[in-house]
Chain A
Amino acid sequence: MSGTIDRRSFLKIMGWGGVGTALSGCDLPTTVTLEEGKEEVMSYLMPEEYVIPGVGVWYASTCTQCNAGCGAYGRVREGRVLKLEGNPESSINNGNLCLMGQAGLQGHYNPDRIQSPMMREGGKLVSVSWEKAMNAVKAKVSAAKGDQVAWFTGSLSGHQAALVANHLDALGSKNHYVHETINNSVWQSVCNDTLGEANPRLRIDKAQMVLSFGADFLGTWVSPVHFSGEYAKFRKQERRGLLVQIEPKMSLTGANADLWLPSLPGSEGLIALGIANILAKNHNKDISQFPSSVQSLINKYDAATVAQKTGIDEKRLKRIAELLDERSPSLVLAGAPVEGHANGYNAVAAVMLLNQLLGNIGSTIESAGEFPFKQMQGVTGGTGDLFNFIQAAKNKQLAVAFFHGANPKYAAPAALDYDSALGNVPFKVAIAQFLDETTAAADVVLPLASYLEDWGTHVAAYQPEQTVIGVQQPLMEKLYPETHGLGDILIDLLKAANENEYSGFADYYAYLRQAHAAMPSQAKGNGSDEQTWNTALQKGLINITPGIKQLSFSTVSFDDPAADTDDSASTLFLAPSARLGLWDGRHANLPWLQEAPDQISKLVWDSWAEIHPSTAAKLGIKAGSIVSVKSEHGAVKVKAILLKSIHPNVIAIPMGQGHETYGRYAEGRGVNPLKILNPTKEEKTGELAMYATRVSVTNTNQSEVVVKMGSSDTQAGRRLVVTMPVEQYQRSEGA
């Protein structure tokens, strides 16, 4: 490394930028030379020393199947990783791992992985050498003006996020588009505006009652494995925690609720205001602390009005308010169905207001504290950047776009006309493991190593008490020598963009090793650099105690979250529901997850539309009928199934299927409901309003067999799952 780099830019290169004063005493590395770093690359990637035939050894790493940042252990035997389990050292997942985490192995060993770089020649992607591909990329990047280069990624954190930011910085670009179809952006935005931080800690384990408006915290919301652990504690309190879930279509969390109520999409904000009204009128909760506009909203929506507008019984609303008052502290949450409307922000703000009214701020909603390394915290995605990217492309502002960890071509509603916008981006580079839709449309494809073959660091946006920097290390040698890790590709690109600062790093491992050496010693713990590095690899994480912060609440004033309750039009609301399994479609190529039945419908390997039996009867639809679901912007044909776990005015089509290209397990299977969504934006945050599309449903008079697990939907009088009333439970084992 040349001696001309000052300390501040050195920290930035190393990803520790933003270090507060408390952690200022960081050393420039003196103990590690690059030559030593190179040797270590060899020793960690050469399996021979570690192989004892017939003996499996567990190594720690970090799961990247979603963005929760769970710690993972991988069992390695004879140089192959065979099984993944949760890392008990991680306070995120405490040793457990969900089905997507388990199935990470099938992404790694997937038969449809891209094995060599490809370039578009004569309209087709053909295999080329790395040198040729990278030279083409570098030439295009250096020919473009700095701000014509963009990165389009999924949520990124840790040193990968730092390097992407540094790459764009070096080029003089600010174009980092971060996209996640399954997100909680509006919730984060409301938290940020009212509490001063986007991801406060949610203490489900301490709550006596959780009222969740569509927040599927056991399935697809934020950090499902962490929240599942908290949920178990919540249920096992001296007085068993009470869960009430209100949402358009039953989620996994809803399936576990004591009371599940169907809501009309977009009416949740009104329900929250109605509950606030009852709390003020009947339970002496003080609403004078709120701005007068908010007070008048609360006064406007009394129980009778809300009941009339939302179809939820007045007595029920009163009982829920009464219970919230009685079971303190409680926790009120809002998820995708609340966020997904033009006025979603207002609805989420109304929900957040309940937390303040009930005194939950500071008790079940705590500050996550101050994480010292801002650069590592990274960026969390939403759907807003999909609009921004498409707009920039339409305006011909982009010359080179890098894609990684996101599939905008699949996720973009047809109405956004992604394809023609993309035609204005002359050079597209996909860094990918599989030929998904976005990758297949790229000009250069750089084959990515799997997360079980790569290095990385991860800092999830949502963190438990200790902030976990997840350390990702290769658990085995690369299956395909031609694949590269994201970090290696970034270092290569940075060398071209900023040779002075990056030429010293042989590869991403050498960079990470140096970054660790440069990490402030208060953060990495006692011991020599060598010792702390080895500890980090053994544990698979570095725990950081965040700086203490208090939450303060300031009410944002918000407008009427009045819902579109018009049911005169003979149309239904479309719910593009999320599945713990296929997620936003990224796991559709993993056979275990295709064959794992959907938790609620129990269907496998398929797409379907969930309709309430009463609605189906009106439309002449039976289970297995192929229905045409038509919005203003397109139609899909999909088989209907009849379930009572849905609002009668809603039709739910799960996300994840309908891939045009994504390997043998995903291709040509089912439909993608995202395609027919209206391109409506949430007004305050610019997110895609995912629950605001109306569709008409018609029977095509064709039908197909519904393939699902289990032939009986009821217990038919058998004592299989016995349900005990809570009173008996409290007598026999409560306190």
Chain B
Amino acid sequence: MSLDNLLSNWSQYRKGHEEGGFHDYEHRWGMAIDLDICTGCNACSTACYAENNLAVVGQERFEKGQAMHWLRVERYWDQSELDHPEQGASFLPMMCQQCDAATCEPVCPVAATYHTPDGLNAQVYNRCIGSRYCSNNCPFRVRYFNFYSYYESSWPEPLNMQLNPDITVRDKGVMEKCTFCVQRLKSAKDKAKMENRKLEDGDVTTACAQACPTNAIVFGDWQDENSQVAKLWNKYEVTRAVTKQKKDNPEKRGYRIFEELNVDPSIMYLERVREKV
């Protein structure tokens, strides 16, 4: 997408999902994360570091909130009234929710963050000027800013040999975030095209979903009704373009975080379950 195209069709790109979104999507990547079998082990997060050239910032910068963990696993304690958390901890893998009505997009003064025909909320690194408005506007706090040129310290030789050549190493002054492993999507699409076929469910998955020891994370094309992710959304009666889910069976699990803000996230979470003993 060129900047010209973006500017001349600005109103189209700003069209809300109530009005049908901005155009026909090729794919709409989405996820389902089952919090009942997520154990909070951190495998997803580390896989993300490996796949996406995430910088290790060290303790001092971590303290300042400058960690670059695109996918972080939050841990909450829910039973603060008790002497002990008898039902354990609440773990939440939190990454960019690839909102269909992303609040980060309209505030970017240079259109560095925009929506792709895949339904992704993309970040154009070499267009980004580092205003950080997007991060400020993100209710999930999943955008990470390069306050430093991390490549100077994060990958002393030969650690740099591990860097994934399919994506960049970002420089100082640039915002970055989870891309749903866009490089994996791109190669899978290219491969399917070379083989003259359509992309099928299971052709591609993200690094986090791949690593997960309990397979709590399911990734796929939400628009492909045969995909596992679409089936899960249907099973749990969760849909897009609403601020409150209307379920035939309201007892079913499945919700989107902060959907009441009308950001229309692409990740469905399934409730954690606990049995009271």
Contact = CB atoms under 8 A, between A and B. Distances in A.
Interface of A: 77-78, 80-86, 93, 95-99, 101-103, 105-106, 109-111, 218-219, 224-225, 228-229, 231-232, 235-236, 240, 242, 244-245, 250, 252-262, 316, 319-320, 323, 479, 580-581, 591-597, 599-600, 602, 604-606, 614, 644-645, 664, 705, 707, 709-710, 712-715, 719-726, 728-729, 731-733
A252 B39 contact: yes
A602 B213 contact: no
Interface stretch (B8-16, B17-25, B161-169): B161-169
B211 interface: yes
Contact of A596 (B46, B158, B163, B252): B46
Contacts of A252: 39-41
B89 A592 contact: no
Contact of A731 (B37, B45, B251): B251
A258 B274 contact: yes
Given A98-B43, A99-B45, A731-B251, A259 B86 contact: yes
Given A80-B161, A260-B86, A719-B255, A235 B36 contact: yes
Given A218-B39, A240-B275, A714-B76, A102 B84 contact: no
A87 to B, nearest CB: 12
Contacts of B255: 719, 722
A63 to B, nearest CB: 12
Contacts of A103: 46, 50
Interface string B83-102: 11111111110000000000
Given A82-B164, A595-B62, A645-B84, A256 B50 contact: no
Contacts of B212: 96
A733 B43 contact: no
Contacts of A102: 43, 46-47, 49-50, 211
Interface in B22-56: 35-37, 39-43, 45-47, 49-51, 56
Interface stretch (B66-74, B121-129, B171-179, B221-229): B66-74
B211 A600 contact: no
A636 to B, nearest CB: 19
Contacts of B257: 719-720
B87 A83 contact: no
Interface in B147-161: 154, 156-161
Nearest to A605: B59
Interface in B204-229: 207, 210-216
Interface of B: 35-37, 39-43, 45-47, 49-51, 56-59, 62-63, 67, 69, 72-78, 80, 82-92, 154, 156-165, 207, 210-216, 249, 251-253, 255, 257, 269, 271-277
Contacts of A250: 85, 88-89
Chain B CB count within 10 A is highest, among A262, A604, A606, for A604
A95 to B, nearest CB: 8
B148 to A, nearest CB: 15
Given A255-B40, A320-B277, A724-B271, A595 B84 contact: no
B210 A85 contact: yes
B41 A599 contact: yes
A730 to B, nearest CB: 9
B253 A260 contact: no
Contacts of A614: 83
B62 A713 contact: no
Given A83-B164, A96-B215, A705-B63, A592 B46 contact: yes
A728 B160 CA distance: 50
Nearest to A728: B251
B276 A111 contact: no
Contacts of A705: 63
29 contacts: A85-B47, A97-B211, A99-B45, A102-B46, A102-B47, A106-B159, A110-B159, A111-B158, A228-B213, A252-B39, A255-B91, A258-B87, A258-B88, A258-B276, A592-B56, A599-B73, A600-B89, A604-B62, A604-B67, A645-B85, A709-B74, A720-B257, A721-B76, A721-B92, A722-B269, A724-B253, A728-B251, A729-B271, A733-B252
Contacts of A260: 84-88
Nearest to B90: A721
A319 B275 CA distance: 13
Contacts of A225: 213
A83 to B, nearest CB: 5
A254 B72 CA distance: 20
A99 B67 contact: no
Pairs of residues from A and B, 6 with the lowest C-beta to C-beta distance, nearest first = A228-B213, A99-B46, A721-B90, A605-B59, A726-B275, A232-B214
Contacts of A240: 36, 273, 275
B157 A645 contact: no
A228 B39 contact: yes
Contact of B159 (A82, A111, A235): A111
Contact of A707 (B40, B56, B62, B269): B62
Given A110-B159, A732-B253, A255 B88 contact: yes
Contacts of A96: 43, 210-215
Given A254-B88, A604-B62, A707-B62, A644 B43 contact: no
A98 B213 contact: yes
Given A595-B56, A599-B40, A224 B213 contact: yes
A250 B275 CA distance: 18
B39 A733 contact: no
Contacts of B62: 595, 604-605, 707, 709
Chain A CB count within 10 A is highest, among B42, B73, B83, B213, for B213
